[in-house]
Structure 1
Amino acid sequence: MKTRAFLTLVLLLAACAPSLRDDATSRRMIAETTLPPMKLFAPITPQPQPIANRDLVADFLDLSFEMESGKQLPVLTRFEGPISLRVTGAPPATLARDLRLLLDRLQREAGIAITVTQNPDAQITIEAVSRRTLQKVLPQAACFVVPNVSSLSEFRSLRRSPKTDWALLTTRTRVTVVVPNDASPQEVRDCLHEEVAQALGPLNDLYRLPNSVFNDDNVHTILTDFDMLILRATYAPELTSGMGREDVAAKLPAIFARINPNSAAPARAQSARTPIPFTQAIQTALGPGTGLANRQTAADRAVQIATQAGWNDTRRGLAHYTRGRILQVTDPRAAPGEFRLADRFYAISNQTRLHRAFVASQLASYALAAGEPARARALVTPYIPLAKTAQNAALLATLQLLRAEALRAEGRVPQADALRLDSLGWARYGFGADWAVQGKLREIATLRAQTPPS
């Protein structure tokens, strides 16, 4: 099986640790808030970024011939011929629209012939179940994809069978994606993007990738231009299921020259492989079911590994960001320093601006708590359009609410109220249930320092 780690919104949940204010006025303001209708993103207009074809070849091979565990996959596998997809279970109301938009992109951008059907013999089944049901099967998964079954019940009966081992496949004929039906609309959509993409193509995740959902940092929540190129190459006519790594490697330069002809980007410096202990450290630090002391140890270990390896890419930024998140609880005064280090490493590349948006939300919360609303506003404002372009409603709402709170602290109440109202529609998509939206409002409202800056 292939799972999406239970880290979907971990970069935003409890993002605002330095809580200084919880007065009656704030509680009354939040309690009296009437939530507006949910906002939805428009269809994406592709805006491809330059990607060096040499990098695409290396990334394709590592994504397609390895698992996250480090296990090697002997051959390339994919679906052969047109692909049909059906939805079963009890899908939430937003799933149909988000799935339609995803399939439209896969058809247009990746050139994959994939259509929806009611036929029980569909190649891909998306089954929507409660999180409780899903996590009875895989406790640490937000969603997952498994081969050679057409339902969750069938997977239960074959869970330890060779049939559900990706490494034993020679071609793909049936795959089931299991998603939650009681998570936020954004989390369900994010699961659709990652798990359907992995049902179709790569099974690996690489922490070194700055612009991909095939990265367990979960910064990118919808398929990127990079992901579409990888999927388009997977279904190129020159390739077929059963080809070995060397044969695929020989075909890829011509494939990417054809599908990515205008690449003017310089090739990146060759990245060292990510050791399994780093992956395990990040997952332990940010995943569920781990005590705080073990989280702290794991975060420290991730930073140690990244530092000793001399990384200057997204992995070094993620390590410091992760330690900052843990320090928010164990040593709040030390946390901003880790976030600033994360930002320093993310700033090395122009492909990690979205990563920096998450860091900005953390640093802005500390600025608000310190009575520096102008600084908080300056930190988050540049990233609001980027969050919208990335279609990350949870991040967008968080940045808008932080900016609104800064404006309120500066006495610019009408502007603050208008921005806050705009954020709530996105918050309903990003965080889901009314109580979750109210909780995010309360979390950010408690940040503003009791005494205005002089």
Structure 2
Amino acid sequence: MMRRSPQTVFRTLRPLVLASFGLATLAACLPNGQRTSLVPEQRPDVVPAAYQPPSVESAELRNYYRVLQQDLLTRGLLRTDGGGPETPYDADDLAANFEEIAFYNEYAGRGGSGLTGGLSRWSGPVKLVANFGPSVPASQRQRDQGVLESYGARLARVTGHSISTAPKRGNFHVIFAGADDKAYVAEKVRDLLPNLSDSDLHLFVNPPRTHYCFVLAGGPQGAPFDYIRGVALIRAEHPDLVRDSCIHEEVAQGLGLLNDSPRARPSIFNDDDEFAFLTSHDEQLLKMLYDPRLRTGMSADEARPIIRILAREAMGQSL
């Protein structure tokens, strides 16, 4: 049985106004026989049986998120550089950020920020599986699968933990689905999380527009901080950069870094959307999380002296 609280993390963005963009693909083929006319014959409007045009809802969402991404980029957000001289941090910053991100959850008990009760992480191997709703085109599936595989390999190197991708039968499922995939999402989530509440299932199937990717991860009832399963939902309507950003944040948070902090910088664990991808600061947090000197289920008070040592080691500062 999965315990939902306090292991669910939502990512939201403020509604903003931006310009949309599109992508066109051109293709050509040469006929085997000689044409009798230079004027191409009119072709009937034949739509492949497998193709279903997006609904109005899905098309509107795709445009909304494209506009949102462009506005964020215009304002200098969604950075992919990982930070620089203008975003310094030291061992004390790293230790404080780790404690706030690893031991607190802004959605704990649905009542606001609060202590989670213990350090959460996976003790066994993490096997990431990408699941795609029927509306997701093949080209997008291939791209997102590649991003997830590359990111999983990076997380394995950073944490020293066993993290890999698998075609199926994994324990951390990343579902890429659009508004037209509600039936698929409902069936998939019921299969993966049979004990999920109706309200939480509804959130997966009909997420608010401001909740454009989120993750649920946890352990069995007797050991809720020892993760054995994770499920993330990423909207297929997002443009590439935002989808990639969702992959980075939700998978990392599903490994045990549950919270966001306005003081964490440079970091994706911050609701200001300044950074799109995992930064060197965030890599240090993950490395600390999976250090064997910490113990799954430890309280913040128990872990604090060890966190200080780990942070100073990470930054090359004396103890």
TM-score range, shorter chain: 0.5 to 0.7
* Aligned residues: CA RMSD: 3.2
Aligned equivalents of 1:148, 1:63: Cα separation in 2: 16
Instruction: Name the amino acid aligned to 2:98.
Output: F
Aligned equivalents of 1:188, 1:45: Cα separation in 2: 17
C-alpha change, 1:210 and 1:63, in structure 2 (3 Å) is: same
Query: Which residue of 70, 93, 105 maps to 1:55?
Result: 93
- 1:273-284 to structure 2, matched below 5 A, reads none
Q: Which residue of 2 aligns with 1:106?
A: 155
CA distances 1:354-378 after superposition (whole Å, capped 9, x unpaired):
xxxxxxxxxxxxxxxxxxxxxxxxx
Query: Which residue of 170, 177, 189 maps to 1:129?
Result: 177
SS of corresponding position for 1:84: strand
CA distances 1:323-379 after superposition (whole Å, capped 9, x unpaired):
xxxxxxxxxxxxxxxxxxxxxxxxxxxxxxxxxxxxxxxxxxxxxxxxxxxxxxxxx
Aligned equivalents of 2:275, 2:82: Cα separation in 1: 15
Q: Which residue of 2 aligns with 1:145?
A: 215
The structure showing larger relative contact order (alpha-carbon pairs under 8 Å, at least 6 residues apart) is 2
Aligned equivalents of 2:296, 2:305: Cα separation in 1: 15
Q: Which residue of 2 aligns with 1:176?
A: 231
Aligned equivalents of 2:279, 2:121: Cα separation in 1: 20
Aligned equivalents of 2:93, 2:306: Cα separation in 1: 15
The Cα shift of 1:35 comes to 7.9
Aligned equivalents of 1:177, 1:89: Cα separation in 2: 12
Higher strand share: 2
Asked if the contact 1:131–1:183 (Cα under 8 Å) also holds between the matched residues in 2, the reply is no
- 1:6-405 to structure 2, matched below 5 A, reads 6-7=13-14, 13-14=17-18, 51-68=89-106, 69-90=112-133, 92-93=140-141, 94-120=143-169, 122-131=170-179, 133=182, 136-139=205-208, 140-148=210-218, 169-261=224-316
C-alpha change, 1:217 and 1:76, in structure 2 (3 Å) is: same
CA distances 1:259-317 after superposition (whole Å, capped 9, x unpaired):
33269xxxxxxxxxxxxxxxxxxxxxxxxxxxxxxxxxxxxxxxxxxxxxxxxxxxxxx
- 1:425-436 to structure 2, matched below 5 A, reads none
**What percentage of residue pairs aligned between the two structures are identical?**
25
Instruction: Name the amino acid aligned to 2:10.
Output: T
Aligned equivalents of 1:111, 1:48: Cα separation in 2: 26
Instruction: Name the amino acid aligned to 2:244.
Output: R
Runs (5+) with no aligned partner, structure 2: 1-7, 27-79, 107-111, 183-202
Higher helix share: 1
Instruction: Name the amino acid aligned to 1:186.
Output: L
SS of corresponding position for 1:63: helix
SS of corresponding position for 1:143: strand
SS of corresponding position for 1:107: helix
Instruction: Name the amino acid aligned to 2:206.
Output: V
Instruction: Name the amino acid aligned to 2:165.
Output: V
Instruction: Name the amino acid aligned to 1:126.
Output: V
SS of corresponding position for 2:105: coil
Asked if the contact 1:48–1:225 (Cα under 8 Å) also holds between the matched residues in 2, the reply is no
Asked if the contact 1:144–1:195 (Cα under 8 Å) also holds between the matched residues in 2, the reply is yes
Runs (5+) with no aligned partner, structure 1: 17-29, 37-43, 150-161, 264-454
SS of corresponding position for 2:117: coil
Aligned equivalents of 1:70, 1:47: Cα separation in 2: 27
TM-score by length of 2: 0.61
Aligned equivalents of 2:263, 2:82: Cα separation in 1: 23
The Cα shift of 1:108 comes to 2.9
The Cα shift of 1:80 comes to 0.6
SS of corresponding position for 2:248: helix
Asked if the contact 1:128–1:178 (Cα under 8 Å) also holds between the matched residues in 2, the reply is yes
CA distances 1:30-78 after superposition (whole Å, capped 9, x unpaired):
99x9789xxxxxxx99888753111111111111111112122111010
Aligned equivalents of 2:229, 2:93: Cα separation in 1: 31
Instruction: Name the amino acid aligned to 1:60.
Output: F
SS of corresponding position for 1:254: helix
Asked if the contact 2:218–2:226 (Cα under 8 Å) also holds between the matched residues in 1, the reply is no
Aligned equivalents of 1:45, 1:111: Cα separation in 2: 24
C-alpha change, 1:256 and 1:210, in structure 2 (3 Å) is: closer
CA distances 1:228-273 after superposition (whole Å, capped 9, x unpaired):
110110000111211111111121122223333269xxxxxxxxxx
TM-score by length of 1: 0.44
CA distances 1:69-107 after superposition (whole Å, capped 9, x unpaired):
212211101001322111123363320222123223213
Q: Which residue of 1 aligns with 2:190?
A: none
